[in-house]
Structure formats: C-alpha cells, structure tokens
Chain A
Amino acid sequence: MLEINNLHCELEDDTEVKILKGLSLTVKPGEVHAIMGPNGSGKSTLSYVLSGRDGYEVTEGSATLEGEDLLDMEPEERAAAGLFLAFQYPVEIPGVGNMTFLRTAVNAQRKARGEEELSAGEFLKIIRAKAKELQIEPEMLKRPVNVGFSGGEKKRNEILQMAMLEPKMCILDETDSGLDVDAMKLVSDGVNALRASDRAFLVITHYQRLLNHIKPDVVHIMSEGRIIKSGGPELALEVEENGYGDLLAEANA
C-alpha cells in the first residue's frame, strides 16, 4: 500500500534544517502501523511530506501509494488517490458549514476519480448515519468547520471526514492528544470500524494508551527523522514503561 524509501527532507526556507533523514517504511493493505517518538522527531513532518504540504523540500528517497509516485502529485491528487491525513491541529474555516465542506470534498474526489457525484439527499443520509456513530450532533454539522469546536470535537470531526471519504491509506497524527477516555473510545471505535483488508493505517501517537484501543500490527520508534526500531505491540509497552531513553541510547550506540 504505502512504501517509503530512504526519505530525506529539509525546510524549503532554511535548507540547513534537515528533518527527515533517511526514513523507510512499508505498510501493507489491511495493516495498522504505529509511529511513536519524542517531540520534534519529525512525525508530523512525515505526514505533511506524504500529503504534499508546501514548505518542505524532498532531497532524496521516494514514497509511493499502490505503486504510484506520491511526491509527484498535487495534494488533491494524493487525496483522490486515497491518502487521508487526520490533522494534529485541524484547521478552522469561518463561514463554511461543516456539511458543505465535506460535500464539496467528497464530490471533488468522486469527480477526480470519474465517479458520479452524490446528490444532496444521498449525502445527507450517509453523513447523518456516520455522525451518529461518532456521537456528533446534527447541529455540529451545520457549524462552520472546526470553529469553536472543543479539542475532542475537532478530532471526532476528523474521523467523520475520514469515514465519509473512505480513503485507502489513513494517516492519523496524534488524534489521541487532548482526548478524554470517552472521546478516545469513540475515536478508536470509529477507526476500528473502518479497518478493512484493503485499507491501511499509520497511527502517529505519543502515548501507548491509544494502542490499547487500536491494536497495531507493527510499532515503529522514530527519532531524529529516522525509524530507529520496529517491532510488535510489545514495543509500545516498553516505551510506556521505560520512556524513549534506553531505545535512543541503544540506537546511538
């Protein structure tokens, strides 16, 4: 599904700042991979480079989605190809209704893929059902995108967008941060409901507790722009108990 090979990147505005330094990763269809790592190790940057945000210059390496070169595409083309990023900090868009935003997005993707657009009626039926599963009030669908949403509402809204867009490759950037236990459960249930043999997840998280709800197949530890260790779910527990210290020391040894 997702294949990242020896990826290097630096800031466009300051080429002295190298962030990704030879990152490699392969995620197969149906798998859930977790990426853990200290603050500043480049986790969000990885998600931005994969989804095509401006400001980063890839200097070496490659990234493909189902064999297609991601780095060569516009952000909207990557989205239409099936890449989705649940933002660490979802963006507010004043004056634009949540529902209008999502309908525009869904239909833009359908159009790009040569599919028929959803009528207003069909769209409404689907979004109401999915919102209900995530315990998103109908009133929240009418409010402007993320404006005045609580932290938990913003994250649930990201999952709602993911559920509506039905992407193949979902990247979740610290979707658990700022969530209380109940919200964490809702979000995890939402993600788990989407798990499928033809869909894969890359779950970026700081804490092990999310992984109690979303069981990963593989856990990667990231530091200074590289994966320094990969393993099974037990690796996350190890981090939980001992912190990153030992792992980092081991990697630098």
Chain B
Amino acid sequence: MAALDETQLREGVDRETVETVQSMAGTYKHGWETEIEMEFAPKGLNEDIVRLISEKNNEPEWLLEWRLAAYRRWLTMESPDWAMLDIPMIDYQEQYYYAKPKSMVEKPKSLDEVDPKLLETYAKLGIPLKEQAILAGVEGAGEERKVAVDAVFDSVSVGTTFKKELAAAGVIFCSISEAVQDHPELVKKYLGTVVPQNDNYFAALNSAVFSDGSFVYIPKGVRCPMELSTYFRINAENTGQFERTLIVAEKGSYVSYLEGCTAPKRDENQLHAAVVEIVVLEDAEVKYSTVQNWFPGDENGKGGIYNFVTKRADCREDRAKCMWTQVETGSAITWKYPSCILRGDDSQGEFYSIAIANNWQQADTGTKMVHLGRNTRSRIVSKGISAGHAQNTYRGLVSMHPKAKDSRNYTQCDSLLIGDQCGAHTVPYIEVRNASSRVEHEATTSKVDDDQLFYCRQRGMDEEEAVALVVNGFCKEVLQELPMEFAMEAQALVAISLEGSVG
C-alpha cells in the first residue's frame, strides 16, 4: 500500500492534492493572524535598535560589535537594482525590527510552558510541535518518519522538538539565539564565513538586525537520525523578519533540512530578509529543501511579502555535497539565489527549483555555482511557471575558475506560460576559465497546451484540475527530489497558487 502511494505521488497530482485544493477554494490558506500580545522594539532602525536587539538576546560583546559593523556597512550600501524586478521604495524607518510574543519575554523552559495560542497557531499550520505529533498521514515506505521542528514566530523561536533524541546523536538543533548562549565558540567560528556581512545590501541588513533563526550542528560521521525542519511565520503587522540560519556539517556527516514559510494576509507589504549559511566539510552532505508560501498579495497585486534572501552553501572540503531544492509559490517579490561554492576537490552542488508566479507576483530567482576545486560537479534544474500578469526570471551563474580542472555543469531551465499576459525570462551567466571544464545549458519555453487541457477535460477533470495536473507533470523532476511530506504539500501548493489562472 505504501509503495503504491509512493509511486502515485511521484507521478503527478494525486487525490489528496485535489481534495486539499478544493477544500481551500481559491483563498490563501494561511492568511489568518493570531491575536497575541506582542512586545515591540520602537519602529525604525538605528544603532540603538541594533544594541537593543543584541541586549534582548543577551549577546556577547563580539556579536554586538559584529552587528554594528554590519549596520554601518549597510548605511553605505544601495539596494540592488540589477534584477528584473520592480521594487517599490521601502521605508526602513517604518518597520519594526523586533517583535516578540509577550509570553516569550521570559523564555519558556519547555514546550509545555509555551503560550497555547502559539502552539495553536502552529497546529493550524499543520506543524506538529508536540513530540507525539509525528507527521501524520504520510506513508514513507511503511515506516513512520520523524521530523524535528524549530518554529520561528515573528522574530523569535518558540520551540524545538525532539531535542533529547537529537542530543543523543550529538546533533545540535536549536534557535540561533540559544546557540549563541550555549555554543558560542561554534557560532563565532562559522557565523558570516559563508555570507560575509557586506555580501549584499539585504545580507548586511540581516547581519545587523537578525533576531533569531535556526542553528544546526552535525558532528563528525553522524547521519542525522531525522529530518530537521524550521517553520517561519510572520504574524505581527509592519514587522520585518530577519532570521539567520547556520548549518554546519562536520566531516562525513549528513542532514536533510526542511524550511517552510507562511504569513497572514495584509494590505501592506512585509519585508523578509533572511540569510542562510551552510558549511559542508569533507565527505559531508546537506540537503536543504524549502517550500516558500509567503502571502503573495491579492489578485490586484495589493500586499504580500518582499522576500529578499541570501542562501549559500560552502562545500569547503573535498567531496562535500550540497543540494538545494526549492518550491517558491508565495511572496509579492522574490529575490533569491541559493548558491554553492564548490571549494573542495570533487565537491558537488545541485539546485532544483520550482518558481511559480501568478497574478502580479515578481520572481527573480536562480542559483550560483562557483567551481573552485578540481573535478567539481553541479547540476541545475529550474522550472519556472508564470500566470496572470506575473514576471518570472531565472538568473543563474556558473563559474569555472582556473583551478577547477575537469569540472562539469549541467543546467536545464524550463519555463511554462499560462495565458498571454505573463512573462518568463532566462538570464544565464557562464564563465569558464579553464580548458578542461564543460558547461551545458538547455532552456525551453512552452505554453500550457490547449489540447492537453481539452484532453484532460474530456476525461472529466475540470479546468483547474487539468492545469494542476499538467503543471505538476512539468515540475516532476523537481518534485521528486523533495522529501515525501514536502512533496505532498508542494503539489497542493502548485495547484492552489495557480487558481484563477485559466478561463
């Protein structure tokens, strides 16, 4: 039975997807807000706010200095404008940079002490914070699968599950603010070593004001016993979310990490500028999967999240491997290029992406594969889907440095258009600076074919079911790279985010 569900899941849309879609009937599913009393820092951004955030988190002096250095750098930088995005002016003084549920001011010692309203919020999102709530309903080849969850609510981590089991394996999985307290030497050693403070405008901003995020450390030779997952939710109004994730995989270790995101529906735009840093050492492997479902704005383009994210993995030693898989369906504007620095010899980077833009969404996303070591390999599979008035750009850099002898890249970049008001753009940058490396790039653009839709409808599917089926088929190569429970969610999302795109 389990095997059957697996096959069918991997083939395209299944019954559950369609049911989920129908039950959601055209509205953004996570668009409610939770009424919880919040403690805010004053609006606006200046050195005092940076100090306050640092103080609230009880940080050591070096980290405060690090933040201040980032802030000062940020003041000298300009918002990037090279992406194919129309970004309205953002007033950084009109945002709150710190919001914390009041019940969290005194940090709860265990999940039992967490405000039940918060737990309810996560339950509504379908996230099992309680340890007994093992992700239900998904058969993974007959055995139940455990997923440890760290949930971040506005700026603050509200709890991490399965701590004991992880600790037994030597795995550290906690919020980054806890890591600063409990493992300062690790944080100090790795923070900012993959994405430097001054890497770009949004990374500098994040470095100055990040309030929380997740920290993962997998010791030498350890295969993390379960999948690790972080769910981010922006709840409070006018609040920017600046989380920072740091993952360190020691020699010969393995971890699969999942990240999910939602936010309530609001008329105002909300800013999300995260940084994810991954350090992969010799023979280690990290899989990082994202299902991003921030509120995309309504059908007239009002509201929605601005998602300006810097994600980068440093395959620092030989045979290190990192794989990014992302399903980007939400956000009004997405600016995001999860990248791999292939520094070690024989290291490998992979990037699998589905980016869906509907209505007035704008997405400029892709990856950078920087080959520095010998015999390094990278593979990029990007599926962009545009509908409504949306603009969807794939921007990818493949760079083969002089020492990266005998390296290979394969890039496949497919765009699918639904309707004739939307756009798809492919912007590949390729630099090859040695004679023995090879780069292959394939790109296609197609439209959802009327004959396909008619064929599906003649067999009894309605138009939206038909579109979802065809699009899920188009995305299959990426969907099948996702961990099972995410694949289900992603299929449902693909369908939901395309609602109203036909007819």
Q: Contact at A85–B458, with CB atoms within 8 Å? A: yes
Cβ-neighbour of A74 out of B15, B457, B477 (below 8 A):
B457
Q: Contacts A120-B5, A142-B11 known; A96 to B460 CB distance under 8 Å?
A: no
Q: Which 9 residue pairs spanning A and B have beta carbons closest together?
A: A97-B11, A95-B473, A96-B473, A95-B476, A105-B459, A109-B460, A91-B455, A75-B457, A100-B11
Docked pose: A76 CA to B469 CA in angstroms: 15
* Residues on B with beta carbons closer than 8 Å to the beta carbon of A99: 7-8, 11
Mark A63-98 against chain B: 1 for CB-CB distance below 8 A, else 0. 000000000001110111000110100111111110
Which chain A residues (42-75) contact chain B, with CB distance < 8 Å?
51-54, 74-75
* Residues on B with beta carbons closer than 8 Å to the beta carbon of A124: 4
B472 CB within 8 Å of chain A: yes
Q: Contact at B457–A76, with CB atoms within 8 Å? A: yes
What is the predominant secondary structure among interface residues of chain B facing chain A?
helix
B432 CB within 8 Å of chain A: no
Cβ-neighbour of B461 out of A51, A87, A104, A117 (below 8 A):
A104
Which chain B residues (444-503) contact chain A, with CB distance < 8 Å?
449-452, 454-463, 465, 469-470, 472-477
Q: Contact at A101–B458, with CB atoms within 8 Å? A: no
* Residues on A with beta carbons closer than 8 Å to the beta carbon of B168: none
A131 CB within 8 Å of chain B: no
Q: Contacts A79-B458, A91-B451, A96-B469 known; A103 to B475 CB distance under 8 Å?
A: no
Write the nearest CB–CB distance from A1 to chain B, whole angstroms.
Answer: 18
Q: Contact at B462–A108, with CB atoms within 8 Å? A: yes
Docked pose: A120 CA to B462 CA in angstroms: 21
* Residues on A with beta carbons closer than 8 Å to the beta carbon of B89: none
A161 CB within 8 Å of chain B: yes
Docked pose: A121 CA to B139 CA in angstroms: 14
Q: Contacts A76-B461, A165-B460 known; A144 to B454 CB distance under 8 Å?
A: no
Write the nearest CB–CB distance from B416 to chain A, whole angstroms.
Answer: 11
Write the nearest CB–CB distance from B55 to chain A, whole angstroms.
Answer: 52
Q: Contacts A99-B11, A120-B5, A142-B11 known; A93 to B460 CB distance under 8 Å?
A: no
A107 CB within 8 Å of chain B: yes
Docked pose: A112 CA to B462 CA in angstroms: 10
Q: List 5 A-B contacts (CB under 8 A).
A: A84-B458, A96-B476, A97-B11, A104-B14, A120-B5
Q: B interface, how many residues as a size bin?
A: 35 or more
Q: Contacts A79-B458, A79-B460 known; A95 to B477 CB distance under 8 Å?
A: yes
Q: Contact at B8–A93, with CB atoms within 8 Å? A: no
Q: Contact at A93–B458, with CB atoms within 8 Å? A: no
Q: Contact at B460–A76, with CB atoms within 8 Å? A: yes
B114 CB within 8 Å of chain A: no
Q: Contact at B473–A94, with CB atoms within 8 Å? A: yes
Write the nearest CB–CB distance from B476 to chain A, whole angstroms.
Answer: 4
* Residues on A with beta carbons closer than 8 Å to the beta carbon of B13: 96, 100, 104
What is the predominant secondary structure among interface residues of chain A facing chain B?
helix
* Residues on B with beta carbons closer than 8 Å to the beta carbon of A87: 455, 458
Q: Contact at B470–A96, with CB atoms within 8 Å? A: yes
Kindly name the residue among B7, B11, B459, B465 whose own CB sees the greatest number of chain A CB atoms within 10 A: B459
Q: Contact at B1–A121, with CB atoms within 8 Å? A: yes
Closest to B446 in A: A94
Docked pose: A53 CA to B456 CA in angstroms: 11
Q: Contact at A103–B8, with CB atoms within 8 Å? A: yes
Which chain A residues (172-214) contact chain B, with CB distance < 8 Å?
none
Q: Which residues of B contact A (CB under 8 A)?
A: 1, 4-5, 7-8, 10-15, 18, 449-452, 454-463, 465, 469-470, 472-477
Which chain A residues (141-157) contact chain B, with CB distance < 8 Å?
142, 144
* Residues on B with beta carbons closer than 8 Å to the beta carbon of A144: 473
Q: Contact at A120–B12, with CB atoms within 8 Å? A: no
Closest to A95 in B: B473
* Residues on A with beta carbons closer than 8 Å to the beta carbon of B8: 97, 99-100, 103, 120
* Residues on A with beta carbons closer than 8 Å to the beta carbon of B18: 104, 107-108
Write the nearest CB–CB distance from A85 to chain B, whole angstroms.
Answer: 6
Q: Contact at A104–B474, with CB atoms within 8 Å? A: no
Kindly name the residue among B13, B18, B461 whose own CB sees the greatest number of chain A CB atoms within 10 A: B461
Docked pose: A121 CA to B5 CA in angstroms: 9
Docked pose: A84 CA to B4 CA in angstroms: 28
Q: Contact at B465–A51, with CB atoms within 8 Å? A: no
* Residues on B with beta carbons closer than 8 Å to the beta carbon of A161: 459
Write the nearest CB–CB distance from A192 to chain B, whole angstroms.
Answer: 22
Q: Contact at B472–A96, with CB atoms within 8 Å? A: yes
Cβ-neighbour of B460 out of A80, A94, A100, A142 (below 8 A):
A80
Docked pose: A177 CA to B414 CA in angstroms: 34
Q: Contact at B461–A95, with CB atoms within 8 Å? A: no
Closest to B474 in A: A95
Q: Contact at A76–B462, with CB atoms within 8 Å? A: yes
* Residues on A with beta carbons closer than 8 Å to the beta carbon of B465: 104, 108
Docked pose: A60 CA to B357 CA in angstroms: 42
Docked pose: A109 CA to B476 CA in angstroms: 25
Cβ-neighbour of A101 out of B15, B469, B476 (below 8 A):
B469
Docked pose: A53 CA to B458 CA in angstroms: 9
Write the nearest CB–CB distance from B341 to chain A, whole angstroms.
Answer: 32
Q: Contact at B454–A101, with CB atoms within 8 Å? A: no
Q: Contact at A95–B460, with CB atoms within 8 Å? A: no
Closest to B18 in A: A104
Q: Contact at A79–B459, with CB atoms within 8 Å? A: yes
* Residues on A with beta carbons closer than 8 Å to the beta carbon of B463: 76
Known: A78-B458, A91-B449, A96-B473. 20 other contacts (CB 8 A): A51-B458, A52-B457, A53-B454, A54-B450, A74-B457, A76-B457, A79-B458, A91-B455, A92-B452, A96-B12, A96-B13, A96-B476, A97-B8, A97-B11, A104-B461, A108-B459, A108-B465, A120-B1, A120-B15, A161-B459
* Residues on B with beta carbons closer than 8 Å to the beta carbon of A79: 457-460
Docked pose: A239 CA to B288 CA in angstroms: 66
Kindly name the residue among A79, A87, A108, A165 whose own CB sees the greatest number of chain B CB atoms within 10 A: A108
Closest to B9 in A: A100
Q: Contacts A75-B458, A76-B461, A103-B15 known; A95 to B4 CB distance under 8 Å?
A: no
Closest to A146 in B: B455
* Residues on B with beta carbons closer than 8 Å to the beta carbon of A101: 12, 456, 459, 469
Docked pose: A52 CA to B462 CA in angstroms: 13
Q: Contact at B452–A93, with CB atoms within 8 Å? A: yes
* Residues on B with beta carbons closer than 8 Å to the beta carbon of A78: 458
Write the nearest CB–CB distance from A125 to chain B, whole angstroms.
Answer: 11
Docked pose: A99 CA to B477 CA in angstroms: 18
* Residues on B with beta carbons closer than 8 Å to the beta carbon of A105: 456, 459-461
Docked pose: A95 CA to B457 CA in angstroms: 18
* Residues on B with beta carbons closer than 8 Å to the beta carbon of A92: 452
Q: Contact at A93–B459, with CB atoms within 8 Å? A: no
Q: Contact at B4–A120, with CB atoms within 8 Å? A: yes
